[in-house]
Amino acid sequence: MSTSDPGERPGRTQGRHSVANITGTSGNDTLNGTSSADSITGSSGTDILYGGLGNDSLYGGTNADTLVGGGGSDSLYGGSGSDLADYSASGAGVSVNLTTGAGLNGDAQGDIFSSIEYVLGSDFDDTLTGNSSDNILTGGLGNDSLAGGSGDDSLYGGDNADTLTGGSGADLIDGGAGRDMADYSAATGAVTVNLSTGLGSGSDAGSDTLTGIEDVTGSGNADSLTGNSADNALYGGGGADTLTGGEGADSLDGGSGNDLVSYAASLAGVTVDLATGVGSGGDAAGDTLTGIENLTGSALNDVLTGNTSANLLTGGDGSDLLDGGSGADSLYGGVGNDTLKGGTGSDILSGGTGIDTADYSASATAVNVTVNGTVSGGDAAGDTLSGIENLIGSALNDTLTGDAVSNYLSGGAGRDSLTGGDGDDTLAGGAGIDTLTGGAGLDYIDYSTSSSGVSVNLATGAALYGDAQGDVLAGVDGIIGSAFDDTLVGFDAQGAAPDVYTNIFYGGGGNDVMDGAAANDVLYGGTENDTILGGTGDDTLSGGDGTDSLLGGDGNDSATGDAGDDILSGDVGNDVLDGGTGNDAVYGGTGVDALSGGDGLDTLDGGDGNDTLFGGAGEDVLYGGAGLDSLVGGAGSDTIYAGAGDTVDGAESGDEFDVINLAGQGPYVIVRDPLNPENGVVNFLDEFGNITGTLTFTNIEQVVSCFTPGTLIVTDTGLRDVASLRVGHLVMTRDHGLQPIRWVGARRIKPLELLVDPSLRPIMIRRGALGCGLPERDMMLSRQHRMLMNGPRAELLFGTDEVLVRAAHLTCLPGVHEVEVASVTYVHIMFDQHEVVLADGAWSESFQPGDRSLNGLDGDQRDELLRIFPELAQMDQTHRYDAVRTTLKAHEARVLLSA
């Protein structure tokens, strides 16, 4: 029966409780059935048909219709157009199969379908299966299973954990919210699925687009499955699959077949162990691996470990560690310096490019291995090596042989036989009595892992102590010492072609003794306090850290002290010596030498020959020695001993004070540059006043600080002439009362010295020139001798009411001036510390030892002073004699005295 009313407009909603047959209009109708067995026909519009309760028959008509069967066993006929079976209102999950045309469970129970292309599931767990058409299957809520079948399908999982199977065709697989899986297990060919790009190819994955998918199940063929940044689960299934988890903590299950997990795209190195199934680092962080036989590492430093299967481990770029475990494994290091452990079984070890090592340290029995050649014994049995440069043996009696390139052979414990062959080889015998044969090339023996010091003499072949005990050596050029006290002695001859010996020693830690003997040696001390002897030949010596002693010996040597207080001696030959940091003593010896002190308080002595000396930073002492020398003090206040023919530069840096000491040079005349008195020349004279030689200097100052005879000093017995004072006399001091004199010295400045160097002339301070009647009598001092000045003006200007002012800086006062004398004697008195004493009624300083004042003394006086105060020989101990008051600079003195 038709429910159409000719007077009604088409396209409206119809529904009458007692009517069993409903037919729509040509418009877009919504037709509601009754609780009875209804027959509803949609006609030509885009209709929505609700069957309601009862076993209904819904006919969509000619357009895209939505059919809602409701309860009961319904028949849904979509007709032409793309029609939807809608179960979103079902109170339980449904199972709809468009291929069979049958439904189960929930509102789909007993339903049959025809010409239906789209299905909308319930809010529960649905199973929706398409057919050969281009289906749209939407799961809705619940954990749904959607299978598109053939055709270009669109699968929407909706919320929760869904499983989507696109089938053949170009499918859209949208997991929606929740953890969803794309399932290709039914594919008849291999698939490639990449969740990062959201694209698939091959077999059922051909042209698929994936979004909202976390997990993928492959086919029974050789699939390639790639995850994204989420925590993915990739199941390879059958076949030789390649799984790439990417970022995130991934679950990678290869299934049956020979499967590979690749970390080639990881931006950090990975550590993966197939035996435990656990990964860490880079993209492997948090990964679990099951059913995996093969691994590919990143472009960085990886650690890949196999299991009991026949594993293929590929390191890629980076310095990788590959461990095959048991089984017949294939290990490919790739680019970088790789270490390959085949383990038991017949393994292929291919190092690739870089310096690669085959490691047999875990072998339970001894091995016999030739680099990239024949192998036998233990874990090496059946192995094939290529691209390998280095070998590590077992803890037993191994035989390791190198090839024509540079090899590193490590025997480990046991009585090993190591043969380097051609190339520059390093042989590390380890513990046990080893036979170490270098062969052609520059070969080393390595004792760096020895638990105690070693003694090795390459000339005699004697090897004693530590890992060297009893070793038999042949064809070895260099030695790498232990971390302890070693004695290393080289060959006493160069050898002959094709195996010319060159002694190259590395001391390592410990206080080492190295003797290069003959040949051109290269000797490195390493840390701590080493003694290095170059011997004959052109040697290169390096002390390293610590207080080292380096002796070049004959030949043109190069020596560097590096850090620490070192002693360097070039001996015979044209040597280049550099003390490095620390307080060094550098001696050139004979020959044309170049000496550099580096940082620190250094002593440089050029010796014979035309030498070049550079003190560097710090307060240095430079001795030119014989020859035409060039001496440069560098930063700091330096003392330079030079002579005729030398060129001296004190260097200019801040307030430094550089001194030339011409002690014992005979008569000379100093000619200073009138525009810069720190520059000039020294003309050396014979007995007739003729110039016999010239020294040129720049940036040089001169210091002598002392009293002159006749100055009266207050002592425990009253006033005494300073020239009458002796060691032990008690002198009144301003700060510490009566103090015993520890040393007395005097220096006479001769007429010729005063004539050629006016800076040696004394300063006269007339009676009362300092105010308040002081001094009480005329007194004469050296230019640098300091007087105590006090008063509120000093407090205002300098924050202290007592300051020291040099005599030369007092000449702005009336009654204070430089005086010309035929000769003058300067007297020094010294206490246990710098003191202020009463001299001619005025407070004045005692002798203050320091680099400048010490170098103003005659040699005998200086030696005597150093015997009394031996600590003064150590440059860093003069701080004990710091000035007891602030000393004003010239401009500060002018400000103080200007009022």
Do residue 241 and residue 263 come from a single domain? Answer: no
435's CB contacts (< 8 A; 6+ apart) are 416, 417, 418, 429, 471, 472, 474
Do residue 269 and residue 376 come from a single domain? Answer: yes
Would you give the end-to-end CA distance of the chain in angstroms?
133
95, β-bridge pairs: 104, 127
**Rounded-to-10 torsion of CA 561, 562, 564, 570:** 10
| Identity at 786, one-letter amino acid code | R
Please report whether residue 706 resides in a domain: no
712, β-bridge pairs: 721
Do residue 535 and residue 623 come from a single domain? Answer: yes
Rg of the chain on CA atoms, in Å: 49
**Which residue, of 396, 420, 451, is where some domain finishes?**
396
Q: What is the pLDDT of residue 587?
A: 94
Residue with tokens 């519009």: 45
Q: Does the pLDDT at position 705 exceed 60?
A: no
**Which residue, of 214, 248, 282, is where some domain finishes?**
248
Q: Does the pLDDT at position 867 exceed 60?
A: no
Where does the pLDDT of residue 115 fall: very low under 50, low under 70, confident under 90, or very high at 90 and above? very high
In DSSP notation, 762-795 reads: -EEE-TTTTBTTBSSS-EEE-TT-EEEEESHHHH
Where does the pLDDT of residue 677 fall: very low under 50, low under 70, confident under 90, or very high at 90 and above? confident
Q: Does the pLDDT at position 13 exceed 50?
A: no
Pairing relationship of beta strands 368-370 and 399-401 according to DSSP bridges: parallel
Do residue 239 and residue 289 come from a single domain? Answer: no
> Shortest CA distance to 704 belongs to which of 654, 769, 763?
763
Please report whether residue 56 resides in a domain: no
Long-range contacts of 233-241, Cβ-Cβ distance < 8 Å, separation of 24 or more:
233/181, 236/291, 237/185, 239/190
Q: What is the pLDDT of residue 363?
A: 97
Q: Could you give the residue ranges of the DSSP H alpha helices within 198-274?
A: none
Mean pLDDT of 681-702: 85
Separation CA 161–CA 785 (nearest Å): 96
Separation CA 559–CA 546 (nearest Å): 15
**Which residue, of 227, 248, 269, is where some domain finishes?**
248
Phi, psi of 361 (to 5 degrees): -65, -20
Please report whether residue 702 resides in a domain: no
CA dihedral for 672, 673, 675, 679, sign (positive or negative)? negative
> Shortest CA distance to 582 belongs to which of 531, 613, 547, 542?
547
Where is pLDDT greater, at 827 or 133?
133
Q: Does the pLDDT at position 177 exceed 50?
A: yes
Helix (H, G, I), strand (E, B) or coil at 722: helix
pLDDT above 70 as % of the chain: 91
Q: How far is CA 480 from the centre of its chain?
A: 23
pLDDT in tens, 728-775: 999 999 999 999 999 888 777 777 777 777 878 889 999 999 988 899
Contact at 8 Å (CB) between 551 and 532? yes
Please report whether residue 574 resides in a domain: yes
pLDDT in tens, 634-665: 998 787 888 899 999 988 766 676 778 775 56
511, β-bridge pairs: none
**Rounded-to-10 torsion of CA 271, 275, 278, 279:** 20
Q: Does the pLDDT at position 800 exceed 70?
A: yes
Please report whether residue 401 resides in a domain: no
Separation CA 694–CA 691 (nearest Å): 8
- Cα angle 265, 270, 276 (rounded to 5 degrees) comes to 125
Report residue 591 as tokens.
């020959």
Please report whether residue 103 resides in a domain: no
Where does 160-201 show beta strands of DSSP type E? 163-165, 172-174, 181-183, 192-194, 199-201
Contact at 8 Å (CB) between 636 and 655? no
CA atoms within 13 A on the CB side of 800: 10
Separation CA 381–CA 368 (nearest Å): 9
Do residue 445 and residue 389 come from a single domain? Answer: no
Where does the pLDDT of residue 876 fall: very low under 50, low under 70, confident under 90, or very high at 90 and above? very low
Please report whether residue 595 resides in a domain: yes
In DSSP notation, 508-576 reads: -SS--EEE--SS--EEE--SS--EEE--SSS-EEE--SSS-EEE--SS--EEE--SSS-EEE--SS--E
670, β-bridge pairs: 682
Do residue 326 and residue 385 come from a single domain? Answer: yes
Contact at 8 Å (CB) between 648 and 629? no
Q: What is the pLDDT of residue 877?
A: 44
> Shortest CA distance to 422 belongs to which of 401, 398, 453?
401
Do residue 542 and residue 512 come from a single domain? Answer: no
Q: What is the mean pLDDT of the chain?
A: 90
Do residue 723 and residue 800 come from a single domain? Answer: yes
- CATH number of the structural domain spanning residue 756: 2.170.16.10
- Cα angle 840, 841, 843 (rounded to 5 degrees) comes to 100
Pairing relationship of beta strands 730-733 and 718-721 according to DSSP bridges: unpaired
Q: How far is CA 284 from the centre of its chain?
A: 25
Do residue 535 and residue 502 come from a single domain? Answer: no
pLDDT in tens, 474-530: 989 899 999 999 999 998 765 555 555 678 999 999 999 999 988 899 999 999 999
DSSP letter, residue 872: G
Q: How many residues does the chain have?
A: 899
Contact at 8 Å (CB) between 702 and 713? no
Where does the pLDDT of residue 11 fall: very low under 50, low under 70, confident under 90, or very high at 90 and above? very low
Do residue 195 and residue 266 come from a single domain? Answer: no
Please report whether residue 112 resides in a domain: no
Separation CA 157–CA 247 (nearest Å): 24
Contact at 8 Å (CB) between 594 and 606? no
pLDDT in tens, 566-593: 999 999 999 999 999 999 999 999 999 9
- CATH number of the structural domain spanning residue 557: 2.150.10.10
Do residue 633 and residue 750 come from a single domain? Answer: no
Do residue 795 and residue 810 come from a single domain? Answer: yes
Q: What is the pLDDT of residue 497?
A: 58
Tell how many helices (H) and how many strands (E) occur in the chain: 5, 91
Q: What is the pLDDT of residue 665?
A: 64
Domains in the chain, number:
5
Residue 784 is part of which domain span?
712-897
Phi, psi of 759 (to 5 degrees): -65, -10
pLDDT in tens, 154-173: 999 999 999 999 999 999 99
Where is pLDDT greater, at 278 or 708?
278
Report residue 385 as tokens.
């090596």
> Shortest CA distance to 390 belongs to which of 411, 376, 364?
411
Separation CA 436–CA 871 (nearest Å): 51
